[in-house]
Amino acid sequence: MKIFRTKTLIRAPAERIWALLIDAPAYPSWNTTIDKLVGKIGPGEKLKIFAKLNPGRGFGVRVTEFDRHQRMVWTGGLPFGLFKGVRTFLLVPRDGAVEFRMQEVFSGPLGRLIEGSLPDMQPAFDEFAAALKARAEAGS
């Protein structure tokens, strides 16, 4: 199992942060790690993520949890759970601000085989959090 995590304290309302996280077409305007995000971000919706870390390749995910202004989970991977990636976005109120947490857990029977070919996603995770913080604190 491989896990990537990041977190940051954002001095903005949870509603503003959430609005950024669920506006798929706007991702490239603030999220420096994404080339394009295709689809609608909502309960049960399918998305295709085109990340700068792997140019030209789209990764399909489904929004498997969606608790407005609090928690969202994207799940993707191979059929039958042979390899699975689960990305969790969490907004936690903290002293007049919001702590944003994001993690992705990779697992499954083929995990060890595939994990070895995964790039180091930690810098991209940290960059995502910093870009979200900058946009949310700047306002709409």
Residue 119 has a pLDDT of 75
Lowest mean pLDDT among 51-60, 63-72, 88-97: 51-60
Count structural domains, the chain. 1
In 3D space, the residue among 33, 57, 2, 38 whose CA is nearest the CA of residue 132 turns out to be: 33
Whole-number average pLDDT of the chain: 92
114 has pLDDT over 60: yes
Which residues constitute the domain of residue 53? 2-138
Q: What is the pTM of this model?
A: 0.91
Q: Choose among 103, 140, 125, 101: nearest CA to 13.
A: 140
Is residue 78 over pLDDT 70?
yes
Share of the chain above pLDDT 70, in %: 97
Give the residue-averaged pLDDT of 2-27: 96
Whether residue 13 is predicted with pLDDT greater than 80 in this model: the reply is yes
140: confidence class by pLDDT, cuts 50, 70, 90: low
Residue by residue, DSSP assigns 60-106 as: EEEEEEEETTTEEEEEEESGGGSSEEEEEEEEEEETTEEEEEEEEEE
Strand ranges of the sheet holding 34-39, from the earlier edge strand across to the other edge: 2-10, 97-107, 84-94, 71-77, 58-67, 46-51, 34-39
**pLDDT for res 109:** 81
Q: Which residue has the higher pLDDT, 72 or 52?
A: 72
- Check which CATH number belongs to the domain holding 117 and give it: 3.30.530.20
